Amino acid sequence: MDFVTVIYEKGNGIAKITLNRPEVRNAENRQMSREILEAFKLAEEDNEVRVIVLAAAGTSFSSGHDLGSPAAIAEGQKEPVNTTMGRYEHEEERWLKSWLYVRDLDKPTIAAVQGYCIMGGFMLATMCDIIIASEDAKFADMAVRMGGAAVEYFSHPWELGFRKCKEFLFTGDYIDAQEAWRLGMVNRVVPCERLEEETMNLANKIALQKPHALKLAKQAINYTQDLMGFRESLHYLFNIHQLSHAYGALDPSLSVLASRGNKGLKEMLTERDKKFEQTK
């Protein structure tokens, strides 16, 4: 299959999917969402593949969904995402169902994360079974700063613990690699220049195991998490996310994203915070 926004490689029982829009820190546009899912499907259905690695080209894993390119802004004004149910169904398919599909794959998945891993990027990393972070990795979700509640695939409380997760969302601040490791969100922190090697070493080690044993072990853990409420909470939180979109559309003053016009998000948030500082 010919991919444009990701690179698909295979060897020694390992499929490696590399996000490949480094010029925009791997911001995820529609094509990239589609191709990530297709690449995971390809790896899952290939009997030679035992382990799947999700990596990223360039200095950052992913800056999140592409909200800033002219194409992305134009797409946001078009059907179906400019209606409440249209957006609901679009996002349900593109993120909730797709990333749950990846989370539920029979084969083990490993994310190799460097640099920025923000919002949509956080979703991509956390849908994987194992996360290896380089020392410069930093994680954030600015949904609340943007006037919304959360992202579409919202596993954050499970990743960070409930109390830390609230601080993470309420402030939109970054968590660095060491803190992510301390919280149990990432498995290992490695020097930047060793990220690929350490990830592939681990993938090779896991690939030595029998696929059926890996499948059953993974299912056992995922079912445990599901029995604890993981799956239901994700569906519930997806609806909360949609509520944020709905009120943002009806009353743009409530949503930074809905009222930003053509401004970049970073610029918009910086301006807003400065205004707030001045009125204190």
Question: Coil, strand, or helix at residue 27?
Answer: coil
Complex with Zn ion: residue 49 or 146, whichever CB lies closer = 146
Cα pseudo-dihedral 40, 43, 46, 51, rounded to 10: -130
**Residue count at the site for Zn ion (CB under 5 A)?**
1
- Least Cβ distance, residue 158 to Zn ion (angstroms): 20
Complex with Zn ion: residue 10 or 34, whichever CB lies closer = 34
- Token pair listed for 105: 């794959």
From CA 127, how far away is CA 204, in angstroms rounded? 20
- Least Cβ distance, residue 125 to Zn ion (angstroms): 18
Complex with Zn ion: residue 66 or 129, whichever CB lies closer = 66
Beta bridge partners of residue 257, listed in sequence order: none
Question: Coil, strand, or helix at residue 96?
Answer: helix
Give the DSSP letter of residue 62.
B
- Least Cβ distance, residue 227 to Zn ion (angstroms): 28
User: Which x/- pattern, by CB under 5 A, does the window 182-221 give for Zn ion?
Assistant: ----------------------------------------
- Least Cβ distance, residue 84 to Zn ion (angstroms): 12
C-beta of residue 160 within 8 angstroms of C-beta of residue 172: no
Complex with Zn ion: residue 91 or 141, whichever CB lies closer = 91
Complex with Zn ion: residue 103 or 241, whichever CB lies closer = 241
From CA 85, how far away is CA 193, in angstroms rounded? 45
Burial 87-124 (b: 16+ CB within 10 A, else e): bbebbbebbbebbbebbebebbbbbbbbbbbbbbbbbb
User: Which x/- pattern, by CB under 5 A, does the window 73-112 give for Zn ion?
Assistant: ------------------x---------------------
Complex with Zn ion: residue 66 or 91, whichever CB lies closer = 91
Helix (H) or strand (E) holding 130: strand 130-134
- Least Cβ distance, residue 251 to Zn ion (angstroms): 17
- Least Cβ distance, residue 270 to Zn ion (angstroms): 22
Integer-rounded Cα Rg, in Å, for the chain is 19
Complex with Zn ion: residue 28 or 91, whichever CB lies closer = 91
- Least Cβ distance, residue 148 to Zn ion (angstroms): 8
Footprint of Zn ion (CB under 5 A)? 91
